[in-house]
């Protein structure tokens, strides 16, 4: 049975499914569609041309389906489609598509934490996590299982690959390949925790490590990287690299590197004076540690 608090404003032209709960001071505009078992907490707003699937939770103060933040607005503007089992926390904002035919899409089983923002025409896959204050510019694509840390900001038209992890307060202005971890706008390795939690097998993990070395460690030209990926990694998760890296218009986040001509002071326990190690020696030692890992 649908329950609507007496202070809520629900336009009679909105469509409500079964067992919908609408809390105090909520607003549901004409043309909004709210699926079965959805719950709107106090002051939540669902704008027109917005469709919610089943079992979505919209928390206090969230505004779902606002018009695009753009200097040139279309009338009536695009649409917003949200799938099933999403948790949209307090004060989240999600904008509809910009052009009349365009649609912002958020699929299933996502968590959008407090005050995160999804801009117009974004495409968010399933099982993604956007931590507090994450900002997605217009036309951003976030693929399944991606994790964006608190206050991470993604520039418009960028893509975040499947099961990628973006560290807190990181600005992303280029595409993030699948399965990697990015901190301070630099790739620091594979997202091992995310891969393990998603059930990736040991064999697939080894394949991903081999593909990662091809992309970032072997010093190949870009055409050689793509050719090697396409010929050597045709199955399993590593095959996703080829498709992702062949497309995109903003370039790709690069791996973190030790600056050239770096001299490190290494403690020598058999002498009172430290000894120096040049950058070549350090790179070799660092590579051995990576291979061992």
* Active site positions, annotated: 120-121, 138
User: Cα–chain-centroid distance for residue 279?
Assistant: 35
**Which tokens hold the place of 214?**
């091809």
d(CA 145, CA 179): 9
Q: Where are the alpha helices (DSSP H) in the chain?
A: 192-197, 202-216, 222-232, 239-246, 279-292
**Which tokens hold the place of 22?**
């609408």
d(CA 272, CA 262): 22
Q: What is the DSSP letter of 277?
A: E
d(CA 114, CA 28): 21
Residues, the chain, total?
Answer: 293
């Amino acid at each position: 049975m649908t329950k609507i608090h007496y202070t809520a404003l629900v336009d009679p032209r909105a469509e409500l499914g079964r067992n919908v709960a609408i809390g105090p001071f909520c607003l549901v505009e004409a043309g909004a569609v709210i699926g079965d078992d959805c719950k709107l907490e106090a002051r939540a707003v669902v704008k027109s041309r917005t469709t919610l699937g089943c079992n979505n939770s919209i928390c206090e103060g969230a505004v779902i389906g606002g018009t695009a933040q753009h200097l040139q607005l279309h009338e009536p503007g695009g649409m917003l489609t949200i799938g099933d089992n999403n948790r949209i926390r307090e004060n989240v904002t999600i904008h509809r598509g910009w052009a009349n035919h365009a649609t912002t899409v958020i699929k299933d089983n996502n968590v959008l934490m407090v005050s995160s923002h999804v801009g117009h025409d974004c495409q968010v896959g399933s099982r993604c996590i956007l931590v507090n204050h994450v900002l997605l510019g217009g036309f951003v694509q976030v693929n399944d299982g991606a994790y964006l840390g608190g206050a991470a900001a993604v520039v418009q038209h960028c893509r975040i690959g499947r099961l990628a992890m973006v560290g807190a307060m990181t600005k992303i202005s280029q595409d993030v390949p699948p399965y990697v971890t990015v901190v301070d706008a630099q790739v620091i390795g594979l997202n091992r925790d995310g891969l393990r939690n998603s059930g990736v097998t040991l064999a697939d993990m080894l394949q991903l490590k081999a593909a990662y070395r091809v992309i970032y460690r072997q010093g190949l030209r870009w055409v050689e990287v793509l050719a090697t990926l396409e010929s050597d990694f045709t199955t399993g998760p590593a095959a996703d690299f080829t498709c992702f890296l062949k497309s995109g218009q903003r370039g790709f986040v690069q791996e973190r590197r030790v600056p050239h001509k770096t001299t490190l002071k290494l403690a020598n326990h058999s002498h009172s004076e430290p000894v120096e190690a040049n950058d070549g020696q350090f790179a070799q030692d660092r590579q051995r540690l990576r291979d061992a890992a």
